[in-house]
Amino acid sequence: MQADPSTVPEWLVLGVLLGAGGSVLVAGLFVVADRLFPADQQARQVRDGGEERRRAELREYLQAIDEQFAENHFVEGQHVAFYLPKRDVAITFDARAYYRIDRSPTRPVLVEHEMPGVHLGARLPFETPEVSLGPDPEQSADPTLQAFAELGLRQTATLSEVKSAYRDRVKEVHPDHGGDEEEFKRVREAYTMAKQHAS
């Protein structure tokens, strides 16, 4: 017996229909899941929002130290976040751009997206004035960090460093030397806290 070539076996038709239906169902699930849980888009928004926040902080810091700058500038063929024309300094978030610019006369500064803008001064290759742009979120959360910061110390400071820093600060802020009573009180409280946590 020979099979009729014009008829298609039922199992083949059923398999093709089930495969097509399953593919449509899976594709539909992906579309629905992408709309309900847009993970890539949310991550991109968080990343972009973080960079924008850091750019705003860097901009605020550069304005506070009265430094001229250009944003989104090209230097040595590389795109940088900020360029300081008077100093020939390029500030970038991109490590590749940093290393390419490093081979030129322009002085590059690499900053991380997590670095608060007020810390830029420590990275700049020139002397910067001390400015206060509000509380550092990392320090405001921890009273011990605040205490060491009030004395101008790192949290790893020794007891003798704490005592020395306290004596220096008291000379600056003591009311008998023209200082402010509230600031003097803050320095004394910081000293008490820092003494307890000194290494």
pLDDT digits (tens, 9 = 90+) for 102-132: 999 999 999 887 777 888 888 999 998 887 7
What domains lie within the chain, and their CATH numbers?
A: 52-123 (3.40.960.10), 137-197 (1.10.287.110)
Residue 146 CA to residue 92 CA, distance in Å, equals 29
Map residue 34 onto helix, strand or coil. helix
Computed over every residue of the chain, the mean pLDDT equals 82
Residues 1-40 have pLDDT tens digits of 555 667 888 898 899 999 999 999 999 988 888 778 765 4
Taking CA atoms, 11 is separated from 5, 18, 20, in Å, by 15, 10, 14
Rounded to 5 degrees, what are φ and ψ at 115?
A: -75, 125
pLDDT at 56: 85
Does the pTM exceed 0.85?
Answer: no
pLDDT at 46: 40
Residues 45-103 have pLDDT tens digits of 444 445 777 888 888 899 989 899 999 889 988 889 999 999 999 999 999 999 999 99
**CB-CB neighbours of 6 under 10 Å:** 5
Map residue 75 onto helix, strand or coil. strand
pLDDT at 2: 59
Q: Where are the alpha helices (DSSP H) in 67-199?
A: 95-101, 120-123, 137-140, 143-150, 159-173, 181-197
